[in-house]
Copies of this chain bind each other. A is one copy, B any other.
């Protein structure tokens, strides 16, 4: 045995000893619980864990991924009914709630290169003997981008990298105009729906999105079926609905898509693309890219294909013809409840979608089966006498893939009731393995960290929180490393969009969590036919260890929320986040100013003109207007006040439950109503400028990032778009919003506080 291996074993021993020691420590009191109820809750959770069985996850996954089950498909309906049947069998009041949403499916997909050589794209993912369902073609949708408009276009081809605004800025500086052309973009860098949107804004007539092996193919690892990465004919389906405007049914913005709803005409819907768009594999993209000439793409634009990435335009010309069936499809949302015994009008909601693009073993079934097992465990607890204080609602959403159809329509349909009653929404979607991903509203940060601290990692015998902290110490940037080391809690990731929490958080102001494991899996089956049972159980979480760990983790969140004496929100984390967003906004403005100055300096010096090879074209960038100094003081004052308020609440909360005094039912009721109002207070009825469906003033998906969050979006996007007046206006509005929240927090503190003196 080498000395290094001995050292390693010694480490392991030491580690075990330390874990054994730490297990002896008394358990921390749970946020929102009194001392005694906290102890009881821990016992309940131990019982809950013992009820969970990994075998169920495997069985259900195999059952649910046997056939394609996209929105509107026969097997999709079957999946919903199976899930509903399961919930009913466990004792849930269960219903399938339906909506009718616009869902285009392909009638014709043609992509051909017409010159300098002829090439017709195969647009086909082949059957693999290693993947049993890859041969199941009945009711299967081919690779396409949902909500692309119909189109029949021919034009010169031009490569535009990720197709982001800055990519077009680069092209403009080189005198390349995409007007009247077909752009080819690679996946990555932004949510896919941004790519055709920005392309259309620059005058392109068509958009091809391809999967470069740099992002999720052989560059990353062996490809499927040898390894887990996307093979040369693997393509990524996906929605290109302009969700940053509004998600859900394009024809019924803001209202639920019931059979009788007043609908827009398709041509009136703002969320469809402006140009036709089609996703292809790199097998189909290579001949096209190889036929481009002109400038060589800058280094950061180049992928991993064995060719020189030229931008063009041309000489390649392409012809693209897309036609869709523009029909309504029925979403089948499974809604299952256990009524709360004390506070049945406070709803703890948990959801995961059930529709897939094809078989969807990873997306969404891995998360779905974990949620089902969690729900089975919760129901089983009731059999031994326990009943939740609050009402628990499990939701299996339909139509998430096309654009959060099921959840959005449901939320819009129950807006009034949800606004009054929902205390939290806990989401999951795809699940991986390794480390806990925790997105969420800051008011749930302490709460969620507590939950993660009490679940053991299945492989390492430390808590999932400890293991995740280790991950951030190793892989995080300096700030993440600092937080993982020096703070008790890990920050929750700010929520943008891309899964069903969006309508809850950003439309209604319901505190939300998004949970998943990540880091040890990896691969390129996303939205392809190879996201299958065979693939998932070979590469992702073969024994559903992390599936069941997700059930434990999310289950704790649900059970604690269901039982807590006081809603387990806190506001210090929120206040810290607001402070840091504010710093970012100031820095963004400063950087914009500096970039402006640098641009002016470059123009004045003519360095580019002097340095430039005379063979090269260079169009000096337009001189931009000066960046004014913004008045951040309203926000700074509001942030200060929020800090004081949240510190006050935190202080009061510490002493809560340590005395034997209890709040009267009436006072509890008042306190809860105030607490429920806190996240709601961060909404503004008018919504955000340019996308009023999004009402949350701190979090929204970016207009030009898609899934990625913009924090304090009203101000941030105004700055990014150099709309200085709007920026100043939004600063005031957001400041008022935050001050409103501070007032509520102070009220909550006042109610909690006197109890201590009793």
A222 touches B610 (CB 8 A): no
Q: A2–B619 Cα gap in the complex (Å)?
A: 11
CB contacts under 8 Å to B, within A592-641, are 602, 605-611, 613-614, 618-620
Q: A308–B7 Cα gap in the complex (Å)?
A: 32
- Known contacts A304-B306, A308-B227, A619-B8; is A610 also within 8 Å of B218 by CB? no
Q: A296–B220 Cα gap in the complex (Å)?
A: 8
Name the distance in Å between A427's Cβ and chain B's nearest Cβ: 25
CB contacts under 8 Å to B, within A293-348, are 296, 302, 304-308
Number of interface residues of A (CB under 8 A): 53
- Known contacts A218-B307, A304-B306; is A473 also within 8 Å of B611 by CB? yes
Chain B residues with CB under 8 A of A304: 304, 306
- A-B contacts, 23 listed (Cβ < 8 Å): A5-B619, A12-B609, A14-B606, A15-B606, A213-B306, A220-B296, A221-B308, A222-B296, A229-B308, A304-B304, A304-B306, A305-B306, A435-B611, A459-B613, A466-B610, A467-B611, A470-B605, A470-B606, A470-B610, A473-B602, A473-B605, A474-B611, A520-B613
B218 touches A306 (CB 8 A): yes
Name the distance in Å between A532's Cβ and chain B's nearest Cβ: 21
Q: A611–B466 Cα gap in the complex (Å)?
A: 9
Name the distance in Å between A280's Cβ and chain B's nearest Cβ: 18
Asked if A462 lies at the interface with its beta carbon under 8 angstroms from chain B, I say yes
Asked if A471 lies at the interface with its beta carbon under 8 angstroms from chain B, I say yes
Asked if A383 lies at the interface with its beta carbon under 8 angstroms from chain B, I say no
A462 touches B610 (CB 8 A): yes
Chain B residues with CB under 8 A of A485: 605
Asked if A34 lies at the interface with its beta carbon under 8 angstroms from chain B, I say no
- Beta-carbon nearest neighbor of A623 in chain B: B7
Q: A12–B222 Cα gap in the complex (Å)?
A: 52
Asked if A581 lies at the interface with its beta carbon under 8 angstroms from chain B, I say no
Name the distance in Å between A537's Cβ and chain B's nearest Cβ: 16
Q: A434–B296 Cα gap in the complex (Å)?
A: 18
A620 touches B470 (CB 8 A): no
Chain B residues with CB under 8 A of A222: 296, 308
CB contacts under 8 Å to B, within A1-56, are 4-5, 7-8, 11-12, 14-15
Pick the residue among B11, B213, B227, B469 that contacts A609 (CB under 8 A): B11
Name the distance in Å between A602's Cβ and chain B's nearest Cβ: 7
B608 touches A474 (CB 8 A): yes
B296 touches A221 (CB 8 A): yes
Name the distance in Å between A15's Cβ and chain B's nearest Cβ: 6
Asked if A126 lies at the interface with its beta carbon under 8 angstroms from chain B, I say no
Name the distance in Å between A393's Cβ and chain B's nearest Cβ: 35
B221 touches A607 (CB 8 A): no
Name the distance in Å between A540's Cβ and chain B's nearest Cβ: 13
Chain B residues with CB under 8 A of A467: 610-611
* 6 A-B pairs with least C-beta separation: A470-B610, A470-B611, A470-B607, A473-B607, A306-B306, A4-B619
Name the distance in Å between A463's Cβ and chain B's nearest Cβ: 10
Asked if A460 lies at the interface with its beta carbon under 8 angstroms from chain B, I say yes
Q: Indicate with 1 or 0, residue by residue over A207-231, a CB within 8 angstroms of chain B CB atoms.
A: 0000001000011111100010100
Residue in A223, A306, A473, A485 with the greatest tally of chain B CB atoms within 10 Å: A306
Pick the residue among B175, B602, B611 that contacts A471 (CB under 8 A): B611
A223-B308, A470-B607, A471-B611 known, 17 other contacts, Cβ within 8 Å: A7-B620, A11-B606, A15-B609, A218-B307, A218-B308, A219-B302, A220-B296, A222-B308, A229-B308, A434-B613, A460-B610, A462-B610, A467-B611, A469-B607, A470-B606, A470-B610, A473-B602
Q: A15–B604 Cα gap in the complex (Å)?
A: 10
- Beta-carbon nearest neighbor of A307 in chain B: B218
Q: A302–B217 Cα gap in the complex (Å)?
A: 13
Chain B residues with CB under 8 A of A618: 8
Q: A479–B185 Cα gap in the complex (Å)?
A: 35
Name the distance in Å between A18's Cβ and chain B's nearest Cβ: 8
Name the distance in Å between A99's Cβ and chain B's nearest Cβ: 42
CB contacts under 8 Å to B, within A410-464, are 434-435, 459-460, 462
Q: A532–B223 Cα gap in the complex (Å)?
A: 40
B8 touches A614 (CB 8 A): no
- Beta-carbon nearest neighbor of A603 in chain B: B11
Q: Indicate with 1 or 0, residue by residue over A222-244, a CB within 8 angstroms of chain B CB atoms.
A: 11000101000000000000000
Q: A220–B213 Cα gap in the complex (Å)?
A: 17
Name the distance in Å between A721's Cβ and chain B's nearest Cβ: 22
A11 touches B611 (CB 8 A): no
CB contacts under 8 Å to B, within A569-610, are 602, 605-610
Q: A524–B273 Cα gap in the complex (Å)?
A: 44
Q: A460–B610 Cα gap in the complex (Å)?
A: 7
- Beta-carbon nearest neighbor of A475 in chain B: B611
Q: A474–B175 Cα gap in the complex (Å)?
A: 18
Q: A611–B4 Cα gap in the complex (Å)?
A: 19
Chain B residues with CB under 8 A of A213: 306
Chain B residues with CB under 8 A of A229: 308
Name the distance in Å between A733's Cβ and chain B's nearest Cβ: 37
Name the distance in Å between A350's Cβ and chain B's nearest Cβ: 28
Chain B residues with CB under 8 A of A227: 308
Chain B residues with CB under 8 A of A473: 602, 605, 607, 611
Chain B residues with CB under 8 A of A606: 11, 14-15, 470
Q: A12–B218 Cα gap in the complex (Å)?
A: 47
Residue in A7, A14, A227 with the greatest tally of chain B CB atoms within 10 Å: A7
- Beta-carbon nearest neighbor of A229 in chain B: B308
Name the distance in Å between A228's Cβ and chain B's nearest Cβ: 11
Residue in A12, A304, A610 with the greatest tally of chain B CB atoms within 10 Å: A610
